[in-house]
A and B are shown apart, each in its own frame.
Chain A
Amino acid sequence: MGRIIVEVMPKPEILDPQGKAIAGALSHQGFTEFTDVRQGKRFELTVEGDVTDEALEAARKAAEGVLSNPVIEDVVGIYAEDK
């Protein structure tokens, strides 16, 4: 079984209130090193056998057509997971 990872993040210009709330919680816990937090999504797509170029291409289409909304999100990573 192969696995393709798709990572999606809110666009930099879109306010991420969840990330802001997490940043606040971190600083309250004493993690003062972090000036900002943004929260995204990670999808794990499993395929039969090894990850082929075709499977990666399909993942790219799925990432742009379903897994993300280009109005508010960027696909920041599509890659085969190393075993």
Chain B
Amino acid sequence: MKVGVITFPGSLDEGDARRAVRLAGGQAVELWHADRDLHGVDAVIIPGGFSYGDYLRCGAIAALAPVMQSVIDRAKDGMPVLGICNGFQVLCESGLLPGALVRNDHQKFICREQKLRVESTRTAWSSGFSEGAEITIPLKNGEGSFQAHDETIAELEGEGRVVFRYVDGNPNGSRNDIAGISNAAGNVVGLMPHPEHAVEAGYGPDSPSGIRTGTDGLIIFQSLMGVLR
């Protein structure tokens, strides 16, 4: 299974995302933001970082990049797309997901291990979890506060499209403690914390089995493999 990982100027976590894909059993394909060609991939990951258009709004100019036109077209046909952190911002700005991400309510960049509850297993990227499971993956952002109109929030909640929710404290003022959402079809997911940093023992968050042993993030990439198979 070929999973494309897009690099924008300012992307930081594309290497980690490709590694996560490989650890989950997929083939990682490098995609460049200025190239429209998706090189025959079965799914796309938009990794985290600081997109080059952040001075307008986070993700705004990245959303207009040539590769995103192709991603938008394929996503509407059902191709799985995951946006992590800046990638979540890009998905919102590109119209694939509703709402917007704004500066953290406390104005500070935050970096910590974050507990999340899996609220929906009906997406391409969360099917491998059991509903209500609590997972821990790293969070690191300055503009991670999810905002949307009241009607949009009601729609997301009513349709079960809140996929991940912050547990044990809201790190950024996000509405309804929302950490990740999906589109109506469930193939497009945006998530603020970073599952690609919790895929291999020795390099992940602390877990009950020991320090740095957390690999909860890997299940997100394994979920995709289950869907593509």
* A binding-site residues for B, Cβ under 8 Å: 10, 14-15, 17-18, 20-21, 66-67, 69, 71-73
Contacts and interface: CB of A to CB of B under 8 A. Distances in A.
Contacts of A72: 57, 100, 102, 147
B107 A17 contact: yes
A69 B107 contact: no
Given A15-B173, A66-B60, A71 B106 contact: no
B56 A14 contact: no
A69 B147 contact: no
A18 B98 CA distance: 24
Interface in B87-124: 92-93, 98-100, 102-107
A10 B147 CA distance: 12
B106 to A, nearest CB: 7
A14 B107 contact: no
B106 A17 contact: yes
Given A14-B147, A15-B173, A66-B60, A71 B105 contact: no
14 contacts: A14-B147, A15-B102, A21-B107, A66-B56, A66-B60, A66-B64, A69-B57, A69-B93, A69-B100, A71-B147, A71-B149, A72-B100, A72-B147, A73-B57
A10 B100 CA distance: 12
B148 interface: yes
Q: Top 9 closest A-B pairs, CB basis? A: A71-B100, A17-B107, A72-B100, A17-B103, A69-B100, A69-B57, A15-B105, A21-B107, A72-B102
Contacts of B145: 15
Contacts, number: 36
B60 A69 contact: yes
Contact of A17 (B56, B92, B105): B105
Interface in B117-161: 145, 147-149
A45 B105 CA distance: 31
Nearest to B101: A72
Contacts of A69: 57, 60, 93, 100
Interface in B144-191: 145, 147-149, 173
Contacts of B98: 71
Contacts of B106: 17
Contacts of A71: 92, 98-100, 147-149
B107 A18 contact: yes
A67 B102 contact: no
B214 to A, nearest CB: 30
B104 A67 contact: no
A34 to B, nearest CB: 18
Interface hub of B93, B98, B103, B106 (most chain A Cβ within 10 A): B103
Contacts of B148: 71
Nearest to B58: A69
